[in-house]
């Protein structure tokens, strides 16, 4: 069997308040996959093989990558063998400081995601 790339989709996620890189990263993954339908993949892999023959790799670029809870980010993905790579990137932008909304600082965290779906084929 060999692994073939099926789809790559990009997304962006923001945590306006709370300065939480995990929340921004999870939102980026959700944004990347929310409007996609992997039409035909069930016919290619047969529904019972999705967990074994579909590999979904997530690459995240965000502020403070060492603070990202990778398992929480991967929970955004419904199917497949899930892997993740987190790198320094994204953006921290100035924002209105509002402690009532969870702010620790006056910053907004922005994360980018690339979600790649690969399938094992005979």
Total length of the chain:
122
List, in order of start, the domains of the chain with CATH numbers.
Answer: 2-121 (3.30.1330.20)
DSSP per residue, 80-96: SEEEEEEEE-SEEEE--
The percent of residues in the chain predicted with pLDDT above 90, rounded, is 62
Can you tell me whether residue 117 is helix, strand or coil?
strand
Per-residue pLDDT of 27-77, as tens digits, reads: 999 999 998 888 777 777 665 677 788 899 999 999 999 999 999 999 999
CA geometry: angle at 56 spanning 84 and 29, to 5°?
65
pLDDT of residue 56: 95
What global pTM score does this model have? 0.91
Question: For residue 6, what are its two tokens?
Answer: 């099926």
Closest CA to 112 of 18, 1, 8: 8
Strand residues in the chain grouped as ranges (E): 2-15, 54-62, 81-88, 91-94, 107-121
The percent of residues in the chain predicted with pLDDT above 70, rounded, is 94
The residues facing 93 across adjacent strands are 108
Per-residue pLDDT of 93-117, as tens digits, reads: 998 888 988 888 999 999 999 999 9
What DSSP character marks residue 19? -
69-88 average pLDDT score:
96
pLDDT of residue 1: 65
Question: For residue 94, what are its two tokens?
Answer: 């100035």
């Amino acid at each position: 069997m060999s692994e073939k790339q099926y789809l790559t989709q990009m997304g962006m996620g923001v945590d306006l308040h709370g300065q939480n890189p995990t929340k921004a990263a999870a939102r980026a993954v959700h944004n990347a996959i929310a409007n996609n339908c992997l039409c035909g993949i069930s016919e290619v892999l047969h529904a019972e093989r999705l967990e074994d023959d579909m590999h979904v790799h997530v690459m995240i670029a965000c502020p403070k990558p060492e603070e990202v809870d990778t398992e929480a980010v991967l929970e955004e993905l419904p199917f497949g063998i899930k892997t993740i790579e987190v790198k320094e990137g994204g953006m921290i932008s100035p924002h209105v400081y509002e402690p009532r909304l969870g702010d620790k600082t006056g910053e907004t965290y922005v994360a980018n995601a690339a979600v790649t779906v690969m399938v094992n084929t005979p």
